[in-house]
Amino acid sequence: MAVRLLKVSSLATAFVSSGFYLYNKDPNDLSIVRFGHAAATTAVISYDYLTAFRHVQYGTEAYSSLSSKVHRRSAERLRDLCCANRGIFIKVGQHLGAMNYLLPEEYTSTLKVLHSRAPQSTLEEVRRVIREDLGKDLPELFASFEEKPRGAASLAQVHKAVLHDGRTVAVKVQHPKVRKQSSKDIEVMELLFKAVHWLFPDFAFMWLVDEVKRNIPIELDFLNEARNAEKVALMLSHLTFLKIPRVHRDLSTNRILTMDFADGGEVSDRDYMKRHGINVNDISQNLGEMYSEMIFVHGFVHCDPHPGNVLVHKCPFSNKTEIVLLDHGLYQVLQPDLRLDYCHLWQALIRADMSEVERYSRRMGAGDLYPLFACILTARAWSSVNTGISSTPLTNSEDVKIRTNAALYLPQISELLNRMPRPLLLLLKTNDLLHGIEVALETRASSSSFINMSRCCVRALASHKKSTARSRMQWFRITAAERLNLWRISAYELYLWWVTILSWLPGC
């Protein structure tokens, strides 16, 4: 304990000296305040964890109760830091809030609010960005422009506006200081994460800093987001339930993105769906189909499906339910070998083929930690993975068990994430957010998502085999096998539907 307290003292000294090193150009620079706030919060949280358990025996009820309190107040301090420093801090906080498999519930529930608590830029700041990038003032570009943003995120905010020809659009404007601050914020985070790892060796989150370094410059380029939106709209044009707002290129720059305005409720809002007569099971099934297509068939994956970026809407004319996909700044491109390995792995998980689960998990870098990888990927206990996730209903006790065990396996989880191929980290984040939506909609026990995944895996693997077929006969055999497998999946889906109907009948 004395050694660790000495480390805290050394840590504070290092923070001060590093702060002057990072921000020695202007002593009045706001970055110094941001760094000081981050360093102080890190030191307070570290000290709390070091001293809170001195007189409590590990494994007792008192220890468990105290752990929950320390987790809660530390999470609240971290949340307040993210809200105060804004920008990249909120982005990282949102990422941590989705890690149900890694962090205690006190952290995930507290940090999830960051999706709806992002700070806003003033209207004057918005005007200035638009004037600098488009060369005109608001009245010259828009017939009307709502002063209050419809939504604010870590990097930008969205305003509803009407063009002079009467079309309604959504104007996404980057926060003016976020680009300049991002590089300094990443340096601060890297320093703090290394310091905490030095103090608590089990805390190994440098992979998260690496991801932020790689992805933030991409997300700050709104023309890249425009290209992604146009590409995915064309790629998934056959999904009639999906709506991607059209980009207005003449009103878009690196810091401004103008798209058709799309209204709707958040995908996790069950009350909204009930009021508008939207079937939550249909939404969950369509969401699963959409992401299965992206991941397994195309290898081009929207990696930020938090509820604010996925809206549901019932068209008043056709009465059809639509899913509106927003925020296309971050996509992951999967190389063919990784995508096909991922297909094989999910097929093995659905069939409970443990030898194949081990084989493809190892191919993806999991090594001897492949059981842990399978549990993280499916958000299920190892016993359920062994018996078949598609045939074993998820229970509340299993969910509680997963959360409880996550804290016990923190070092192994951190090691696993550090050795994973980088593209898989964003897929895990996507899985976490989709699991969170299923929990909110209470559809996680449904097998429809596994059926959609099975179909997409069959199609993806068959497409690859046909592309390498050496004869017409071989091509026809692969096609026949594909159709047979798809027919089997449809038959199983029909069987599940019939079982459900029978369960509703009296006396059954």
Give me the mean pLDDT over the 91-104 stretch. Answer: 76
- 35 vs 243, residue with greater confidence: 243
Phi, psi for residue 147 in degrees, rounded to 5: -70, -40
pLDDT at 22 over 50: no
Give me the mean pLDDT over the 41-68 stretch. Answer: 86
Q: Which of 201, 231, 258 is a domain's end point?
A: 201
User: 156: which strand partners?
Assistant: 174
293-315 pLDDT per residue, tens: 999 999 999 988 888 889 999 88
DSSP string of 422-467? HHHHHHHHHHHHHHHHHHHHT-TT-SHHHHHHHHHHHHHHHHHHHH
338, 194: one domain:
no
Q: Could you tell me what percent of the chain has a pLDDT over 90?
A: 34
Q: What is the pLDDT confidence band of residue 26, given thresholds at 50, 70 and 90?
A: very low
Helices (H), 52-112: 61-85, 88-97, 105-111
Q: Does the predicted model carry a pTM greater than 0.85? A: no
491, 348: one domain:
yes
User: What pLDDT is attached to residue 11?
Assistant: 47
pLDDT at 369 over 70: yes
486, 338: one domain:
yes
- 120 vs 299, residue with greater confidence: 299
In a domain, 59, yes or no: yes
User: What pLDDT is attached to residue 10?
Assistant: 46
HSE, side-chain direction, 13 A CA sphere, residue 488:
8
- Please list the active-site residues: 304
Q: What is the pLDDT confidence band of residue 246, given thresholds at 50, 70 and 90?
A: very high
Number of domains within the chain: 2
Give me the mean pLDDT over the 355-378 stretch. Answer: 91
In a domain, 312, yes or no: no
In a domain, 214, yes or no: no
Q: Could you tell me what percent of the chain has a pLDDT over 70?
A: 87
User: What pLDDT is attached to residue 508?
Assistant: 53
In a domain, 414, yes or no: yes
pLDDT at 258 over 90: yes
Query: In this structure, are residues 470 and 309 in contact, taking their beta carbons and an 8 Å threshold?
Result: no
Secondary structure letter of residue 347 according to DSSP: H
Residue 108's domain comprises: 2-115+183-201
In a domain, 451, yes or no: yes
Q: Which of 156, 171, 201 is a domain's end point?
A: 201
pLDDT at 346 over 60: yes
- 12 vs 137, residue with greater confidence: 137
Query: In this structure, are residues 189 and 346 in contact, taking their beta carbons and an 8 Å threshold?
Result: no
426-473 pLDDT per residue, tens: 788 788 777 778 777 777 655 566 777 888 888 888 888 898 888 989
